[in-house]
Structure 1
Amino acid sequence: MSRVKEGIRQKKDGHYELPLQFKKDNPADLASKEASAAQLKDSCWLKGPDFLWQPNLSVKHIIVKVDDPDPELRKAHVHTVKAENTNPLISRHSKFSAWSRAVKAVARLKKCVRRRSGGQVWTDQTTNLKERRKAEFFIIKLTQEEAFADDIKKIKCNRAEKLGKRNKLYRLNAYLDANNILRVGGRLSQSALHHDVKHPAILPRKSHVSDLIVKYHHERVDHQGRGMTMNEIRANGIWILGCGSIVSSHIYKCVPCRRYRRTTEVQLNSPSRNSQMNDIVILKDECTPRNEWKLATVVEAQPGRDGMVCKLKLVLSETSVDKGKPHTRLINLERPIHKIVTLVEAN
């Protein structure tokens, strides 16, 4: 490579030319100049360089130092990629839209595994409460291992003080229980509350499992506010990091909550058209379906003191069958304006 660099010379047009001894082994050199068919037949354009036909190729590892101002130098950017092996069950959780369905599916899956291994007799019964509770702990444990892998290793090695004071797990005095589930510590251990309430399981904020749990408990409290939903979550032994913001975000996107909490509609007192003669209207009837309401024609409009029509005189036709022959008669009615709906306005 050093001989190549020394033999390279620059032409007047700015291009660079290789030495003669390297042009013979360069097939691309024939494409830049004219050559006859006979020359191409015996050249390295068709058969390649001569050193490729040798039985033993000489491989030399040469380190070449290139100067920075070299015009032929091309800068390249190298990127490192970090690959992580994730549990396939964790990616399956994103397929569920309800927490109860995910728990029942995992409980049935674990029950089928026990049956296949011979640890349980085959029955047609559904999963019981104990099996579903174990499935909840299993899902929570998988989520914690994905989100807090490094922190769990430090806690297992009794190096919880190395978490850092800015770490949220350090503030919660987190520890691992007998089932290796990450839980909240603190002084409530001396209280008479239930173990899951004293030491709730910790879940990350950005997790599909956390979203499912928030949705499930929000529906259990009948779509009440943020405080009621957070209390319900923590009363069931779950501590979600940043729970207030994730609950508020869910309530903002919840369709029933948007419907219940919308602003009260205000009736606009805008002037409307008065009913006139020959208008075709529909008669409202609270005792019959809307598709059976009758049509009528306005004969007279009676205005009130404010000049707006408050009562109408109507004519409608009623057809009856007598001895196989239809008979039509006209009926005169009076109806208030709020008991009719204008269908076609008179010209």
Structure 2
Amino acid sequence: MAKNQVAPIKGMTLPQLELMAAVLGAHLGRHLLDELELERVVYWSDSQIVIHWLSSEKQQNKFIKNRRKEINDLTGSKHWRYVPTHSNPADLQTRGISAKEFEDNTLWFHGPPWITQPQSWPVWKECDTTVLSAIENTETENCSETAKDKRMEPTSNVMDIVQIERFNSYQKLLRVTAYVIRFVDNLRKREDRNQGKLTAGELQRAANMWIRDIQHNIYSTELECLRSRTQHHLIRQLKLYIDPGNMLRCGGRINNAPIPTDAKFPLLLPGKHKFTHLLIQDTHQRNCHAGTGTVVTLLRQRVWIPAARQIVRSVLRKCVSCKKVSGKPYLAPAPPPLPKDRMLDSEPFSVTGVDFTGELHVKSANGRDKKVYICLFTCANTRAVHLEIVPDLTEESFLRAFRRFISRKSLPKIMMSDNATTFVSAAENIRRLSQSVAVTDTLCQAGTVWKFIPKRAPWYGGYWERLTGITKDCIKKVLGCTYM
């Protein structure tokens, strides 16, 4: 006889689902006892956590407590035994097997081979099993162990003796503090006084004293709540507890990980304290001025800083060495007002900017590859565009394109361009031409003035540079690699 049930929609952990399966099995066993009048029923489970919960008398949360009481009322905790996963027939029902495998499956029809031999039943030992438990359930034990430990550091405030505001180096702060502690210890001794260079243990003791005093000043409310066993949002969020050294540590779910204790249960440090900033700066410098992500990862191997990434980023932003190498240049000043020539309400192309685009590949009359260029004329007021194809970038080619432009669009009053050699020569020719007697009469009313933008300042001609880029993009998208 078998029975299964669909897992609830509400998210539950695997141990909780295993406990729900134990409840289902307990009801099924009670039904068989009542209907078949059996004398004894043995319950098997492959979840060591469930068996631990059923056999343990520790206070659990409400979910586990209610279901454990229900199972014990139906079966009793002494009738539950452990079965390895590979010998559990119920796994075939939950995991599923093919019909062909089901026909010849002896585990489902007859059970494991040792089921009829009680002396061969597997034995579960609680001491051989590691059970993950929530920090809330162990806070009472940790607090009691802390109260029993009398070998704590004195509760004197080291911040009243060493002024941390006078230090800008984490290592220097620890060394000065270690020398102060050694001096106090030597005053208490008459013989075997400690002298010589500082040891790693003394530096670690100084760091722990600083962390302990900072925690007792900043997190005094949380410490009182832990000692009085009252709830607090930070304690619940970070699963805080007091270690035997009278320091606040953060809990988690990696109790059994093969890593150091400081990494599993990091010390809590406030993000805005000077000591935390010095620790971040020292970690950053000792690791070759590493970035924000690396520094945060290294810090979390020992301490937990709320909003660590923002705090680390604000400290690293002040690093002078990093600023010299990867600092951003000075921001460009705010752009000035547009010149008066571009704000006139005049006819199109009265103020015209001119520029060349990049080369285009075309086929000549004899079928050979040839380079041509586009000369772009744009109105500074209406942004109208006139394009002319020129065979090269010489002065003669531009003057012919300029003649075609003024034949169709009239003569501009102001021409603007960069300081390219072609435009400079053309401007000289136009200026020389306009000085002749024959042309002076024609251009006396609408003479062309050629203006150049400052050298090495292409942003002054941004309105034609932008249109030049748009024109090149359109041509490339339409033609691609095709020859004209």
Tell me the TM-score normalised to structure 1 length: 0.47
Structure with greater proportional strand content: 1
Structure with greater proportional helix content: 2
